[in-house]
Amino acid sequence: MNAIPTSTETVPRSFPYERWSRELGELSQKYAENKPFKHIALNDFLDEDIARRVVAEFPGPSETSWTQYKHYNENKLGQPHRDKFPPTIRRLFEEFLTPEFVSWLSELVGIEGLLPDPDLEGGGMHQTERGGFLNIHADFTMHPHKSHWRRRVNLILYLNEGWEDDWGGALEFWDRDMQNCVTKVPPLFNHAAIFSTDEHSYHGYPDHLTCPPDRARKSLALYYFTEEETPQKPPQWTDYRARPGDGARGAFIWLDKKMVALYSRIKRRFNLSDDFASRVLGFFSRKK
């Protein structure tokens, strides 16, 4: 397991605390008031020079050992192992794991006792190529390997310069009845989406990307937890949902969801990695 840095003295500061702390009270209020669930979109999240170095280092689809998240409900690539990150990206993730950053985030979202996940379970570098997608879903609510850890907050930083709206890929937030998309967050360069996660925080980008073949939707993702006295029973695994217009596809979305839940239980029972679990899911599940 990767250790959490215990002091920012050994980690170069990659986040502009001074700038964002000045606005923290107002941002926290907006976060609490936004619908359909608590969230906020922050432009120019990092200083531009750091954001551009992150983009310059971000590996292409063939430049690292990506985990293949490819089944009926999603088609994307992921890399959660920090030792395989390029230097600037690794330092940025180390910053996002520090007590100083977690304290800032905790104040923004109004949740005390947030815990970062040094193993980046399900997080890390993400990349979706042309034709890729992620169906609308609510995330798993319990850490797969820590039964007392409840998932509370997602942070996603987008890294797409010159991204055009008609390529798709905007993060959609849906109401709890799955009847309406309430808002969208475009995956633009140096823009961050932060939102609270529970059993009904439905989000995703379900339409196939139409970006050019040499482009991809790139992002960094971290998930934060709180430690609960009693494990959630039963936990909710990733809850994929059909949209009102999905018609007969809804049956396949539901079936694949059940398969994902089954293999998530196996993964937890035998302490398997995402690399193994995703290969199993890719074999047994139907690709859209």
User: What integer pLDDT is reported at residue 261 of this predicted model?
Assistant: 85
Block means of pLDDT (10 residues each) for the chain, length 288 residues?
44 85 97 98 97 97 90 96 96 97 98 96 96 97 89 98 98 98 98 97 98 98 94 84 96 94 73 60 45
The whole-angstrom separation of Cα 10 and Cα 7 is 6
* 282, amino acid identity: G
User: What integer pLDDT is reported at residue 168 of this predicted model?
Assistant: 98
| Fold (topology level) of 8-284 | Jelly Rolls (2.60.120)
User: What integer pLDDT is reported at residue 233 of this predicted model?
Assistant: 73
Give per-residue burial for 219-239: e unless 16+ CB within 10 Å, then b. bbbbbbbbeeeeeeeebbbbb
Domain boundary assignment for the chain: 8-284
User: What integer pLDDT is reported at residue 235 of this predicted model?
Assistant: 79
User: What integer pLDDT is reported at residue 270 of this predicted model?
Assistant: 61
User: What integer pLDDT is reported at residue 10 of this predicted model?
Assistant: 47
Look at strands 181-185 and 171-174 and give their pairing.
antiparallel
Helix (H, G, I), strand (E, B) or coil at 220: strand
Within 34-182, residue ranges assigned H as helices are: 48-57, 87-96, 99-109
User: What integer pLDDT is reported at residue 191 of this predicted model?
Assistant: 98
